Amino acid sequence: MKILIAVKRVIDHNVKIRVKADGSGVELTNVKMAINPFDEIAVEEAVRLKEAGKASEVVVVSIGEISSQEILRSAMALGADSAILLQRPADMILEPLDIARLLQQVVIREQPDLILLGKQAIDDDCNQTGQMLSALLEYPQGTFASQIIIENDLIHVTREIDGGLETLSMPLPAIVTTDLRLNVPRYATLPNIMKAKKKPLEIMNIVEMDFSPLGQVKTINVSEPKKRSGQCTLLNNATALVSELKAKEVI
């Protein structure tokens, strides 16, 4: 079984986001970048399936500038076998449907049995690409997966819903988006980091592909959240809290 994982290069989750002075976006200059955490979970799950004998090949794909090679190497250091970079020009703006259309071309070419994506990216929180890709390919989908079990030609996906847990069973090929509860990604060891440098990484230029951005979504402005006003009041006991709430006519 062949598994394809889509990964995105985002600002490291430990870095404090800074908005550009003109409000056109967030500052990326000299900022530490990393694999989107949800996508890293997808990579870990694919590697675990390979280690369990359920998969024979793990391929990672990313769409971005040439600097996105670093996260693909990181994914291969975690255990992926090869990588594909769809290189886009720095001035090309891609929305979730554009990403899904590009991934559709990769899936048609690579013919994977299972496509894994993080449920969302932490930079835009769109949570759309996996579902859009499923619609374009007409593949069954299981979103927000907290457990994945493969038996014969079926994949069973357990997901959390408001009332508890829901388990979906679907034939392969299928698309699954991963949630935080699925697993805890491993740390890449130094030997595997060195091995990743020699693994195959194919670069495809989007400009040379049969593709043009839709341009349906435009960012008008990016701003920081408003700072909270007022001060915190420390109270000594519950009686004082009740009195304060009554005074403010909250209760």
Domain holding 83: CATH number? 3.40.50.620
Question: What band does 21 get if pLDDT is binned at 50, 70 and 90?
Answer: confident
**98: containing domain:** 2-221
**23 has a pLDDT exceeding 90:** no
On whether the CB atoms of residues 141 and 130 are closer than 8 A, the answer is yes
Tell me the residue length of the chain. 251
Instruction: Summarize pLDDT for 195-218 with one digit per residue, the tens.
Output: 999 999 999 999 888 888 888 888
The answer to whether position 18 is within a domain reads: yes
The answer to whether position 240 is within a domain reads: no
Cα–Cα distance for residue pair 145/56, rounded to 1 Å: 21
The answer to whether position 33 is within a domain reads: yes
125 CA to centre of own chain: 9
In the chain, the number of structural domains is: 1
Comparing C-alpha atoms, which of 178, 194, 202 is closest to residue 7?
178
The answer to whether position 58 is within a domain reads: yes
The answer to whether position 165 is within a domain reads: yes
Cα–Cα distance for residue pair 182/88, rounded to 1 Å: 31
Q: What is the dihedral of CA 242, 244, 247, 251, to 10 degrees?
A: -40
Ranges 31-40, 111-120, 242-251: which has the least confidence: 242-251
- pLDDT value, residue 86: 95
Question: What band does 30 get if pLDDT is binned at 50, 70 and 90?
Answer: confident
pLDDT average, residue stretch 181-190: 94
Strands of 82-87's sheet in order across? 164-171, 154-161, 141-151, 174-178, 114-118, 2-7, 57-64, 82-87, 201-205
The answer to whether position 67 is within a domain reads: yes
The answer to whether position 106 is within a domain reads: yes
Comparing C-alpha atoms, which of 109, 79, 115 is closest to residue 5?
115
**89 has a pLDDT exceeding 80:** yes
Instruction: Kindly report the pTM of this predicted structure.
Output: 0.85
Q: How many percent of the chain have pLDDT more than 70? A: 100
- pLDDT value, residue 202: 96
The answer to whether position 95 is within a domain reads: yes
